[in-house]
Structure 1
């Protein structure tokens, strides 16, 4: 038995093959993020923070420093260092909360978004084209699968 796959169990072997393909995608995306970090002089954690902040914006979530710390699984002190680096590089701005003037929200700058598109745009275009080649039913199935995978990761890692 290797990787928990019993050769006599073809369904488990097929499922494990899909998991291995998902892992390969995750590794390649991590490598792309690392290359972006290297070429822009950012830390890998800074890139993950930018991604989480952009995800929050798309979801309409108020991204506060404490929210970001939770998303990154970091202490507030470590997150503050990330925020300071991103602010100093002009990638993140603090804006006053609309609902509570005493707190601030984090917003990715237009310059950082533009930089991200310059680097990741060609990759995103290829991923979008690959996704558009799927039928709506296939896209729905993939969405459901990835949502379930995310839930499984959340249940085992303790991360958001």
Structure 2
């Protein structure tokens, strides 16, 4: 019989007396809670609030965005986005540059030093999860991947449903 690996305390049946589905749900809940705590820690290290951190995440992923694009991604007003950009610029996390093809516009670009600081904060978790993934067999990776894809689908359908 193949040995089950515990990815979180109580995930395998019998470990805490919970059925597998209860333990998996509890582990997912714990991941969400830890993710929020980790996000707060990264924000504190970079001296930004959660909205500013979300803006930095979009800028790091895209490289540059117009204030309007950033406003849509953050789902906040353009006035609030201006304040976010002002804070990021004042802290040295971003810069405003002229748009390359439309001289009436500006783009917001992440500062390379801030990108490096953010990755320094994120690396232990990203690297740790990647290492855990490498330890899984191909079959385990396929099962975990399929399950997580379905969990993502549940979240997406909940977001798309009218309240």
For each residue in 1:94-122, what CA deviation from the matched residue of structure 2 results, as whole angstroms up to 9, or x when unmatched? 23333423222222111011111222211
What's the secondary structure of 1:28's corresponding residue?
A: helix
Q: Which residue among 152, 155, 158 is the counterpart of 2:160? A: 155
- Gapped regions of structure 2 (runs ≥ 5): 1-19
CA RMSD of aligned residues (A): 2.8
Counterpart mapping for 1:1-150 below 5 A: 14=21, 18=24, 20-57=26-63, 63-134=65-136, 135=138, 137-138=142-143, 140-141=145-146, 144-145=149-150, 147-149=152-154
The answer as to whether partners of 1:131 and 1:139 remain within 8 angstroms in 2 is no
What's the secondary structure of 2:109's corresponding residue?
A: strand
Count of aligned pairs: 141
Residue 152 of structure 1: how far off its partner (Å): 2.4
Residue 143 of structure 1: how far off its partner (Å): 6.0
- Gapped regions of structure 1 (runs ≥ 5): 1-12
Scaled by the length of structure 2, the TM-score of the pair is: 0.70
Structure 1 pair 100–26 and aligned structure 2 pair: CA distance change class (3 A): farther
User: Could you say which structure has the higher helix fraction?
Assistant: 1
Residue 34 of structure 1: how far off its partner (Å): 0.8
Q: For the residues of structure 1 that align with 2:27 and 2:110, how far apart are their CA atoms?
A: 31
Scaled by the length of structure 1, the TM-score of the pair is: 0.71
The answer as to whether partners of 1:83 and 1:92 remain within 8 angstroms in 2 is yes
Structure 1 pair 125–106 and aligned structure 2 pair: CA distance change class (3 A): same
